[in-house]
Structure 1
Amino acid sequence: MNYENILISIEEKVATITIDRPTKLNALNKATISDLSNAVESLSKNDDVRVIVLIGSGEKAFVAGADISEFANYTTVEGAQLAAEGQESLFDFIENLKKPVIAAVNGFALGGGLELAMACHFRVASDNAKMGLPEVTLGLIPGYGGTQRLPQLIGKGRAMEMIMTAAMITAEQAKDYGLVNYVVPQEELLSFTNVIAQKIIKNAPFAIGKAIKAINANFKDGKNGFDTEIKSFGECFGTQDFKEGTAAFLEKRKAEFTGK
């Protein structure tokens, strides 16, 4: 499939999606959200891909927000529809994907860009990264899950402050807050992220997917995370990966997982 605003490369079972709108600091518009949604869905079905990494083109920005020109004249109904469609097609879709998605935050991650990074399963930042949710400066609030995911990641008080002040934080502050897992030099960002991805790839894909589901369940209304964990734990016993993993352990060799 040809994409308008993203580039995809696959190497050693890691698919890297590069958001490629450098003249707009990789801002999210409808076409880019559609490209990302279609690409992630396609890669989720590709057996040669075990981990997905998201990054922005260039060194200035991961995603510097949404493309404001697209929705400046929207009505209340159109605004709500924009948020609902974006959350369903991309942000929630990534969060609940069975394959791990890592955000490699290179530069500015603002507004919808930070919301995209937060929808990923975890984040690695370059040392020049800056993050924030500036929507209230436009008379809006975050609409792609920011009011929900930011408190889950950094706590209610800090999330309230970040959203209400619209302030940007540095990569080191983001690490201190628990918003990103690591901060590395810009030139090492992708290689460092790929080292983590390779560690993930060594493990059982089915089990990783179930772990993602169980962890996410703890943050969803009406879901009992412990019940989800128990059910998911049991389902792992019916897989070839479980048989291979236990056999490899007992035979003192490396496991070869297939995801089945």
Structure 2
Amino acid sequence: MNGSVNIEIKSGIGTITFFHPQSNSLPGEILNLLANTITQAGENEDVKVIVLKSEGDRAFCAGASFDELISIEDFETGKEFFSGFAKVINASRKCPKLIIGRVQGKAVGGGVGLASAVDYCMATKFAAVKLSELAIGIGPFVVGPAVERKIGVSAMSQMSINATEWQTAEWAKTKGLYTDIYESVEEMDEAIQVLADKLASSNPQAMLLLKQIFWEGTEHWDELLAERAGMSGKLVLSDFTRNAINTFKTSN
């Protein structure tokens, strides 16, 4: 497998790190591993709070793996691939522990979905965001509910329609995706450590109840995101989308 998902547990803080050599893009195997790791961390009594991060400097997550997208040849395979994003979002949603997001660089498509699915997200000034799905013939259907929940319909519509345009980290902060923006990774990591230490010593039951309140109204997301995965799984088979992905790959 190209890429990895690892967890390190220290002083009640479970740090989950994912990596892929192509700007931390997310093939199906990585998505499933990430969802399972989040679920297991939520069940681990030694973990009081979770930090979700990726490796590298300037790319938090490039979203779906184009190589895997272009290899999809039937609806079931397509739906299963996009269900990977649904699994990660739902694992984050249902995890009984609060999750802090660490976004050190650009987030595209599914990467924006990951940042939206955490409970508290910190970023550097380099963490621009883009929902590029329409530019390759599909749409941000699976990640859409998570993004909309964080930044609202208007801002999500803006990103979805203007699919080739980057929005700055400051823009993302004003819309509620990021809680804080930092000049450097070092400053961000210091702030994350301070918050994670505080949460690791907070009342677990109180944090669980808070999380349940934060996510009220999303109880139907298992079915909703599965339905959305089917929408993307169908679109990815079209000639329009295949041509768009190939064009996008050669121009980037």
Tell me the TM-score range normalised by the shorter chain.
Answer: 0.7 to 0.9
Total equivalences in the alignment: 217
Counterpart contact for 1:5–1:31, Cα < 8 Å: no
Whether 1:137 and 2:135 are equivalent positions in the alignment is: yes
Structure 1 residue 122, shift from structure 2 partner: 2.0
Structure 1 residue 39, shift from structure 2 partner: 1.6
Q: How does 1:73-88 map to 2 (within 5 A)?
A: 73-74=71-72, 75-87=74-86
Structure 1 residue 4, shift from structure 2 partner: 5.4
Question: Structure 1 residues 153, 125: CA separation in 2 closer, same or farther (over 3 Å shift)?
Answer: same
Letter of the 2:146 counterpart? R
CA separation in 2, counterparts of 1:220 and 1:44?
Answer: 18
CA separation in 1, counterparts of 2:83 and 2:28?
Answer: 13
Counterpart contact for 2:89–2:146, Cα < 8 Å: no
Structure 1 residue 5, shift from structure 2 partner: 0.7
Q: How does 1:93-242 map to 2 (within 5 A)?
A: 93-145=91-143, 147-166=144-163, 167-184=165-182, 185-220=184-219
Q: Secondary structure at the match of 2:129?
A: strand
Counterpart contact for 2:64–2:110, Cα < 8 Å: yes
Letter of the 2:145 counterpart? Q
More displaced stretch, 105-114 vs 71-80: 71-80
TM-score by length of 2: 0.79
What's 1:61 paired with?
59
What's 1:232 paired with?
none
User: Structure 2 unaligned runs (5+)?
Assistant: 222-252
Counterpart contact for 2:109–2:132, Cα < 8 Å: yes
User: Structure 1 unaligned runs (5+)?
Assistant: 223-260
Any idea what the Cα deviations from partners look like across 1:133-186, whole Å, max 9, x if unmatched?
1000000111432x2122222221121111110122111111111111011122
What's 1:239 paired with?
none
Counterpart contact for 1:14–1:194, Cα < 8 Å: no
CA separation in 1, counterparts of 2:57 and 2:176?
Answer: 23
CA RMSD of aligned residues (A): 2.0
What's 2:19 paired with?
20
Question: Structure 1 residues 16, 182: CA separation in 2 closer, same or farther (over 3 Å shift)?
Answer: same
